[in-house]
Amino acid sequence: MADNVVIWTLDWVPMPDGPAGFVRDLRLRWACEEAGLSYEVRTIPFEGREANHLDRQPFGQVPYLDDGEIRMFESGACLLHLARKSEVLMPRDPVDEAQALQWTFAALNSVEMVSVPWWFLDMTGAQENGLTGWLESRLSHIDRVLSEREWLAADRFTVADLAMADVLRVGKVRSFGDRPATEAYLSRVTDRPAFKKAYSDQMAHFAAAEAKRAQAQG
């Protein structure tokens, strides 16, 4: 059993228009980078992903992680697990901790819960998918919050900002409407060295997979 955190992701995703740079293993890489935790990344095959790891992720998705005897799926749950290891991600003060928890769930359950079906339906060409007004409302509320504060909780970066920024930085969502406070927030968060490292590692991982695949296809 590995004594460091193992982050599982796909061995390949379609390039160049696929999700490289946005696969949710990035959240876990980023959290480990922020917290200074040692980790390794392992892969499962993209082909057959619907069925080839259901014992680890019951919906056939990634990411999931190993940490000693602990095996977990759902990026949010994995983030909170990692956040317990480092005050960088999760404040120890109970009031600040409650704020960070609250905003982490807001990212995943109030914003991503709307943004993912919105961009997915938009991508399929649905003209008015009924979610636009809902998303507009969520994004403008967040923009208002971000116009009044630099960080979501504890007056500093926490796991809540990691989750919220990862939800909001999706290209389609980011370019939908004009939200200066959100844009400034995203620049601030994605300028962090830990994000940059996680992002460039994920891009390198999928670029290498693409090159290997192209070579094999010859």
Task: List residues binding ligand GSH (CB under 6 A).
Answer: 23-24, 49, 60-62, 74-76
* CA–CA gap between residue 154 and residue 90 (Å, rounded): 9
CA–CA gap between residue 150 and residue 215 (Å, rounded): 46
- 3-state helix vs strand vs coil in the chain, percent to 5: 55, 10, 35
Q: Pick the closer one to ligand GSH by CB: 84 or 156.
A: 84
**Nearest approach, Cβ of 62 to ligand GSH (angstroms)?**
4
- Contacts of 74 by beta carbon, 8 Å cutoff, 6+ apart: none
DSSP-derived pairing of the beta strands 39-44 and 64-67? unpaired
Nearer to ligand GSH, 7 or 146 (CB): 7
CB of 69 to ligand GSH, least distance (A): 20
By beta-carbon proximity to ligand GSH, the closer residue of 61 and 115 is: 61
Considering the complex, what minimum distance in angstroms separates the CB of residue 7 from ligand GSH? 12
Separation CA 155–CA 139 (nearest Å):
21
* Residue 120 C-beta: closest distance to ligand GSH, Å: 10
If the CB atoms of residues 37 and 113 are measured against ligand GSH, the closer one turns out to be 113
